[in-house]
A and B are shown apart, each in its own frame.
Chain A
Amino acid sequence: MSIDVIPVESAGAVAAERTGPSPRGELLHDIVRSKTFIVGAVIVGFWIICAIFGYAIAPHNPTAENLEAINKAPSSAHWFGTDQLGRDVFSRVITGARNILIIVPLAVILSTVLGTALGLVMGYFRGLLDESIARVLEAFLALPLIVIALTAIAAIGASNLVVILVIAVVFTPLIARTVRTSVLLERELDYVAAARLRGEKSPYIMFVEILPNVMAPIVVEFTVRIGYAVFAVAALSFLGFGVQPPTPDWAADIAANYPLVAAGYWWEVLFAALALASLVIGINLIADAVEGAIDQ
């Protein structure tokens, strides 16, 4: 059997072109144009620059102790003052961005990849497989972050890797649940039936047919989770599970210096705390812009 070629001119019904704007380009345009996004991007961009070039920008060596100048208040020599070991707080804040900005994206990328894969499998196959995975994930969700962290540290010891793994364990179930919900809606659409009818295998249907259509919630989840992850990393680091001194780290520095606030040495904590808060706010502004544009 062959299909004859019919001259297109005879096809009156398709005379005029009808093109809309490409949806993806428009979405990106919407996001980039929004004021929330711009403010968020400026803040986060600032900290990314600090993370990369921090050691070059910093006026002092952030780890150099100077026992002659401990607990000095902010001055022209030390803009943010010095801490109890005489280290320059400004330099430690600038360079302290690096650690958290490496751990957070790695942890969230790992949990998004795992969560997406699990969510696709659960939503697509449903049934017993879905139920079994869901129970395991719920068990993890029931455990507090700190309990998981303590267990991991007891087993592996404290390090950045542990922090990444702990956060992945905590976030993966959350992302998996979101993805599963979206997949449940998609799998009922006829394009999935059409794929089955031409004999496509399940992995192809999950990753090539369905995955691109559930990217929107995944992207939203990713940006929102980054904000949460900053807090989680800071919390673990504050408790001493993450990077070890003397490496500059905002949360570790807060932990080391906050007993001194009562003695009037507020600058040793305040600037690190402000840095942490501004990063979270910046990330959340970006997340809001992304979510708002996708929801429209």
Chain B
Amino acid sequence: MSAAAEAPVVTPVSTDALTVDHVDVSYTVRRRDQAVLRDVSFRVGRGESFGLVGESGCGKSTMALAIVRYLARNGRVSAGSIAIDGEDVLAMNEGALRRLRATKVSMVYQEPGRALNPSIRVGPQVAEVFQIAGKSDQESLELSEEMLRTVRISDPAVVMRRYPHQLSGGMLQRTVIAMALASEPSLLILDEPTTALDATVEAEVLDLVKALRQELGTSLLFISHNLGVIARMCDRVGVLYAGELVEEGPALEVLHDARHPYTVGLLRCIPRRDADKRRHALDTIPGFLPRPGDTPAGCIFADRCGLVEERCRTEAPPLYEIGPARRSRCHFHGRAQTLPRAEPAQTEAAKPRPGDGKPLISARDVGKTFRLSGQEIHGLTGVSLDILAGETLGLVGESGSGKTTLARVLMGLTAPDAGSSVELDGRALAYLTKQRTAEDQKSLQIVFQNPDSALNRRHSVRRLIGRSLSKLGHYTGAALQTRLLALVQSVRLTDRYLPMRPSQLSGGLKQRVAIARAFAGDPRVVVCDEPTSALDVSVQAAILNLLNDLQTREDVAYLFISHDLGVVRYLSDRIAVLYLGRLMELGPANKVFSFPHHPYTEALLSAVPTVDDVDSERIRLDGEIPSAANPPSGCVFHTRCPRKIGEICETTEPELLEAEPGHAIRCHIPIEELRRIQVSPPPAKSLPTAHAD
């Protein structure tokens, strides 16, 4: 194929499951048309899996909605054509459209809980799909049971009698996938199907989709912001940026040898396995997405591109054919990999570790029991750990493992059970923040997960940060103003943001305000509770760099909570692993993240899809996280443990023992044995089935 400079023409081939040809989509907002997709062309071949990747606001979901003609009333496809199975979707009338949706195309959404009707039992809900296809009621129920078995639900009869709220997230998503596949569609659209799920559950769902695809030969359009997921799931990938397809090609080629500066930048934002915060800063993509409706004359990425030249600003690049099945919308696609870094690659020379391992915060035997309609739920059980001066302690675990509860107990927002102790510098702290001294309140601050919730939306940035300065730092008058400006600049904001309200800021900027607020009183420990999970990858990188910088300058310790193990690995000096409210492993980051480690950590790590190892053998966990109201006997992990050794695991809870200096593991298997067996994965199982409990 020649690298011809003219725009490629996609000829609709009747055998393609999906052909999107030069499609423009615009929304009418306040009587103005705003283009959200421009000139998007791609095709999904029969049985192929095509990934659409990009950050929020780039038009991924709009594309999916346009394909099945579910666009909101103010949205319309203003140019181009879309064909499913060779049939022109845009020309269809209501009846044809209904038939198309009933037979040819299905969609799976991000939130399985919202895709199901909460007031109808699962069985009749799945059966509905078959009834629409003309089957009798009895037949439909039988087919539904069969379909649920196909998505590896081991006891479909039980599940069918349940209401959606009685099922876990993973089980719900299996059910939704079963419904989507029930009509045997030729095209299945998955819009962020695992974003709301835990890593181990995500891994199961991805495995399931992969296996079903092979069994049923369904074509997939897989939409995700997660490059690791795309790498694992897709044959080919298209990268969307600000409504334009900027790069397309075989997934592994694009992810390992990107030819568009945006893709290159995006890949550099991800913390890689070998990255160390003391040596490497993450790269970022400067600037913001252009606002919808702002269409520059030249390349849409020019304002943020490190390789920009005069030509880029005047001449919009076509989608160059740059190799077999590879296209890039960049004039200089040959040089994309030479994109200069937006951030210096090296962090400032790390200071010698301050404090030298002196515990700043000590949690001793912290327990927290919630009472819910007469039931006792053990949120935390006997958690003891130290946060050392100036270090970052990473806290990982699946949802419901007690990460946030532990953070709230340390902060004094939730009172722990009697007998627990939280110490600062060896002094016991009051359980609740209002009983703590001003000095203690000042020492501990927090950055919350969701800045929309954490920042008062009626207050200006000046007031949000200024109030913390006067309350915690006791600044007044001119000193407060000086300090306010310094603080705002230290989180890389300028004074022009001071009069703004949070709703006028982007997610990343909001999180910077929240970070500035946390640092207002010169804290000694800052709890970061999933501070980047609501942000895009490129924004996440900038926030992580900022946290890293602030730590070096301010000599502050972090308790860094995240479900993203890549992020935790990059930032943490030590790591604590929680499972069902118990500490399973605690030790230096490199030790916890490499063999030998706790079997749960092992499984957790292998569940995370990364760009780097796509085909590595994975450890699969059986079933769901048990209920904290009724935790398993013995070792709480024994019900899912792939390395279970026998009865002792079911009867006796292992102690959290120091297996080697500074590295504690709660497991009956001695560390030497773990070291020996973890070289290879546990005996491979077939794709696990999910049980309803």
Contact = CB atoms under 8 A, between A and B. Distances in A.
Interface stretch (B515-523, B601-609, B635-643): B515-523
B508 A209 contact: no
9 pairs of A and B residues whose beta carbons are closest in the complex: A12-B286, A11-B492, A212-B458, A13-B542, A190-B454, A190-B448, A3-B490, A191-B456, A190-B453
A4 interface: yes
B487 interface: yes
Interface in A1-40: 1-6, 8, 11-20, 22-23
B286 A15 contact: yes
A23 B503 CA distance: 8
A196 B434 contact: yes
B648 interface: no
Contacts of B448: 190, 193-194
Nearest to B493: A14
A12 B453 contact: no
Contacts of A194: 446, 448, 454, 517
A3 B554 contact: yes
Contacts of B517: 194
B273 interface: no
A159 interface: no
A135 interface: no
B32 to A, nearest CB: 14
Contacts of B31: none
Interface in B266-294: 284, 286-288
Nearest to A8: B494
B471 interface: yes
Interface string B151-185: 00000000000000000000000000000000000
Interface stretch (B103-111, B437-445, B625-633, B675-683): B437-445
A196 B454 contact: no
B123 to A, nearest CB: 34
A13 B549 CA distance: 14
Given A16-B303, A197-B433, A3 B446 contact: no
Given A197-B444, A197-B445, A198-B441, A18 B509 contact: yes
Interface residues of B, number: 58
A200 interface: yes
A200 B284 contact: no
B287 A12 contact: yes
Given A1-B555, A8-B494, A198 B444 contact: no
19 contacts: A3-B490, A12-B284, A13-B284, A13-B542, A16-B287, A18-B505, A18-B506, A20-B503, A23-B503, A189-B454, A190-B448, A193-B413, A196-B434, A197-B411, A197-B412, A198-B441, A198-B468, A198-B521, A213-B456
Interface string B495-514: 01000110111101100100
Interface in B646-693: none
Interface in B464-509: 467-468, 471-472, 486-487, 489-490, 492-494, 496, 500-501, 503-506, 508-509
Contact of A20 (B472, B504, B553): B504
A22 B455 CA distance: 17
Contact of A190 (B450, B468, B492, B522): B450
B494 to A, nearest CB: 5
